[in-house]
Chain A
């Protein structure tokens, strides 16, 4: 039994970042984790997926190398090697978190935690032994979420033919054919990866377009880019009958009343994540849930039970690592008695790392219409950007939506090479309430992709230079 100021249950991007911040602020901190530090992000999400996407990107570039005067001769692509590289990076990052814990004197307790009142946690170790630990200032639940499959559509995860991203990340080789159900960020990224490694990919979503949460212009642009790369995109689709074979899956897909049959080696279910709320003792300790099954919190991350906090995926969408990390920082600062700058949920960036990348922050144009806002749109295509031309990555555009009267940046949507990096200029601007004019006033280096951001802002003012 040990006593700490705060205990974080879960060592993912919400819990581990919060723990380090809490330790920086002078609190004694423990993190309880049943798997390995880093959570879904490091082990089964962001990091390994991005490693595979980098492999995919190189594969794409090699295919075009001759255009650049680089002859690489015969090429072949090996998913197994790419997968092993991604696992190595994942492990490296997880060890990196362990190192950070040592550096900041955060205690790492391996095991499964259960709440024992507002100031204590019982941890069951790998050996089955239970031990109680005290948390004088509070317990923070950061248990995250997991893939849940689509049993209601006949797509129960089975680890052989119907897979989640967890299993796909450790496939030894790329299948010949794959259906990806769910065309959100995860679905689009894996479509990109497997397409690059030679799989015939069919990307299916019930929504009318892929990346349904993004601006419809980006969705249309990505659909165009995917189709060009021979990824079959079926939007507005309903999955009918599913037949599970030993080495294949066949399913009927209905689109606008028309039915078609698809037979594939593997199905990746890339839709639906469930919060990890079981076996923590939430109910016994008075922690309430929302209608959608997440832990209910207020803007100070407080749950309905005093002294118990929740952050990250388990505390509700958007289920993004950086949203969880920020909640971790804020809860640590509040517990240290600092008046934290509360999480600005309206300014959390979205990023999808397929090629071309898609990144956004703020409102989509459809949302602006729905809210009846008086807005203006500025758009600049990368095909008119010098740097994009030199790298041969001219797909995509920057789209800025600004308030007509005051120039407030209501939303920004970027699709193209390095979109996820380019977006942050806008995130900083919005956080500081800079308007499109301040973006333009800042001199942008030439030639850079960032010029497209400034040009889109200028376009919204009717002053675009290069288009």
Chain B
């Protein structure tokens, strides 16, 4: 039985890949798991491995050519096997079969350039002129584990069941995002009547189908969430909660805010909060650490990341994703940092940054930046962040705004640390200052919420001793 070698989705956002180099020749014996070729994805150079045993009978893909995910690149078969039919069927580019690209954001079509890793400098959010293509910044783009795009809500069910002329809301009409959630007609009807989004429900029927009892038990769930909220508040930092996150159902006002704001400004209704931090103590700390040797070196950015991470653990409402139908508050803090690379930029992630020491963060940040520049990051290293930090201070930028990485709700743009005149006790003095601008997704973070969070970041950054206790 011959095995097809196809262009696989090697990163969550990959739609096509460039065959860099064949590592096996026609006629070579290969085993499942052997590396056949190097493939350049949108993010990195990755390895394409064999999915079957046999002889590499035929190489179809040419080095240097880019081809869409799912394209036949080679055939593995038995020595005496006739594979002509397989090759003949190769054609131009067969679309990726579902199993060839698990979790890939196939439905996104030609998404806007540099999705998901674009805290590019510049003030404007996605220009409106890019229209529909740009509208859906893929929620799933950076996170293989994340659910795909939210389901569109059910069509309205007309004037109640069985009323004259109310045909079933096209009973089985699948949502248009290509990832259909399976549900029974009765479950759909119940959900639509009760205003429950099917995408919020876990299906327990055959093959994960959503059935009546799933909808009924989904109604009960919010009550238990309230109970959890009523528990006494623990210490603000290093809060331990069960699971990785909580999904907070959207209230009507939240839905209205989301809809109205998006209509007004674009797919991610962003606003900006700017503040100036005093960097005196941070600078002193850096200097002291530097004197202890290179092993103890930390950058301003490392301190910012730590300050942000600790603040996020105190403000879960900012450490959140916009999921379309609900907001996801994360219990863990994963901070992405934008790294410029020759042909773009990428955002490697420091996982659990709130729990890591400053030194640990500094070492990890150096390592990740190095890997990013040599394009050696694996998808796990640049997906799953809950908040991002972009720093152009080293390039002499005083102040800028960054673009949010959906489904994250915020990004902090950090400018250069510079001496500036400030008024202290009625006198003008020179102090080391740093300007930051936080871009906030208004659907998730309201103005005051963002401001309070930024206050905490400021407190943490201006009192770096807080970051080591």
Listed in ascending order, the chain A residues whose CB lies under 8 Å from chain B are: 341, 376, 404-408, 432-435, 437-438, 441, 461-462
Listed in ascending order, the chain B residues whose CB lies under 8 Å from chain A are: 160-162, 167-168, 171, 184-187, 189-190, 193, 206, 211-212
Q: B171 contacts A438, CB within 8 Å?
A: yes
* Distance in angstroms between the alpha carbons of A462 and B161 in the assembled complex: 12
The one of A404, A405, A408, A438 that contacts B212, using a Cβ cutoff of 8 Å:
A408
Q: A434 contacts B186, CB within 8 Å?
A: yes
Q: A407 contacts B162, CB within 8 Å?
A: yes
Residue of B nearest to A376 (CB): B162
A contact residues around B211 at 8 Å (CB)? 433
A-B contact list, 25 entries, CB within 8 Å: A341-B206, A376-B162, A404-B162, A405-B160, A405-B161, A406-B186, A406-B189, A406-B193, A407-B189, A408-B212, A432-B185, A433-B184, A433-B185, A433-B186, A433-B211, A433-B212, A434-B186, A435-B168, A435-B186, A437-B162, A438-B168, A438-B185, A441-B168, A461-B162, A462-B162
* Distance in angstroms between the alpha carbons of A441 and B211 in the assembled complex: 20
The one of A376, A433, A441 that contacts B187, using a Cβ cutoff of 8 Å:
A433
* Distance in angstroms between the alpha carbons of A406 and B189 in the assembled complex: 6
Residue of A nearest to B210 (CB): A433
The one of B167, B171, B190 that contacts A406, using a Cβ cutoff of 8 Å:
B190
Instruction: Write the nearest CB–CB distance from B63 to chain A, whole angstroms.
Output: 46
Instruction: Write the nearest CB–CB distance from A22 to chain B, whole angstroms.
Output: 21
Instruction: Write the nearest CB–CB distance from B217 to chain A, whole angstroms.
Output: 15
Instruction: Write the nearest CB–CB distance from A311 to chain B, whole angstroms.
Output: 21
Given the known interface contacts A405-B161, A406-B161, A407-B161, the answer about A437 and B193 at a Cβ–Cβ threshold of 8 Å is: no
* Distance in angstroms between the alpha carbons of A110 and B161 in the assembled complex: 58
A contact residues around B190 at 8 Å (CB)? 406
Given A341-B206, A435-B189, 20 further pairs, Cβ under 8 A: A376-B162, A404-B162, A405-B160, A406-B161, A406-B186, A406-B193, A407-B162, A407-B186, A407-B189, A408-B212, A432-B184, A433-B186, A434-B185, A435-B168, A435-B186, A437-B167, A438-B168, A438-B171, A441-B168, A461-B162
* Distance in angstroms between the alpha carbons of A441 and B166 in the assembled complex: 13
The list of the 6 closest CB pairs from A to B, nearest first, reads A433-B184, A433-B186, A437-B168, A461-B162, A406-B189, A408-B186
B contact residues around A433 at 8 Å (CB)? 184-187, 211-212
A contact residues around B160 at 8 Å (CB)? 405
B contact residues around A432 at 8 Å (CB)? 184-185
* Distance in angstroms between the alpha carbons of A341 and B212 in the assembled complex: 15
* Distance in angstroms between the alpha carbons of A438 and B167 in the assembled complex: 10
* Distance in angstroms between the alpha carbons of A435 and B162 in the assembled complex: 11
* Distance in angstroms between the alpha carbons of A441 and B171 in the assembled complex: 10
A contact residues around B212 at 8 Å (CB)? 408, 433
Q: A435 contacts B206, CB within 8 Å?
A: no
A contact residues around B206 at 8 Å (CB)? 341
A contact residues around B186 at 8 Å (CB)? 406-408, 433-435
User: For A376, A404, A432, which residue has the most chain B Cβ atoms within 10 angstroms?
Assistant: A432
Residue of A nearest to B190 (CB): A406
B contact residues around A437 at 8 Å (CB)? 162, 167-168, 171, 185
Residue of A nearest to B206 (CB): A341
A contact residues around B184 at 8 Å (CB)? 432-434
* Distance in angstroms between the alpha carbons of A405 and B168 in the assembled complex: 13
* Distance in angstroms between the alpha carbons of A408 and B206 in the assembled complex: 19
